[in-house]
Amino acid sequence: MKITNSFEELAGGDLDVFAPKAPKPEVSVPTASQLDRVARDQGFNVDNRPITRKPLKSGRVAGRDRPEPMTLRIRVTDWNRFSAFCERNGYTVADGFERLTLLTNDL
C-alpha cells in the first residue's frame, strides 16, 4: 500500500507558490499642517471650530451661561433635598448649585 501526499497534489507539486509576498512600500501620512496648506492651495477654507456640547435637560433652563454636562454620584435623598430647595426658591439647578458654592466660601 502506497501513501500519497495530498498536499503535494494541491500545490501542483511545488511549494514555491507559498512563498511570502514582497512587502508593500511604506506610505507616508501627511500631517495636519500639510493638509491645511494643500486645502488652502486648492481654495478650501479649513475651519475647525471647537466642539460645543449640548446642555443636559434638568427641568429648568439656566438663564445665564450654558452648563457643561457632567456626571455626579450623589445619594437620592440628597438630590431630593436639593431639588426641593431649588423648587422652593425658584432656582434652576445651576443657580442652586452656584448658591451652595457661594455658601462654601464662608466655611
Q: What is the mean pLDDT of the chain?
A: 77
When comparing pLDDT for 46 and 34, which is higher?
A: 34
Closest by CA position to 48, among listed 31, 66, 36: 36
What is the average pLDDT across 5-15? 60
Taking residues 6-27, what's their average pLDDT? 69
User: Would you kindly state where each structural domain of the chain is located, as residue ranges?
Assistant: 58-107
Radius of gyration of the chain (CA): 33
pLDDT band (50, 70, 90) for residue 76 = very high
Question: By the 8 A CB rule, do 93 and 86 touch?
Answer: yes
Residue spans of alpha helices (H) in the chain: 6-10, 32-41, 76-89, 93-104
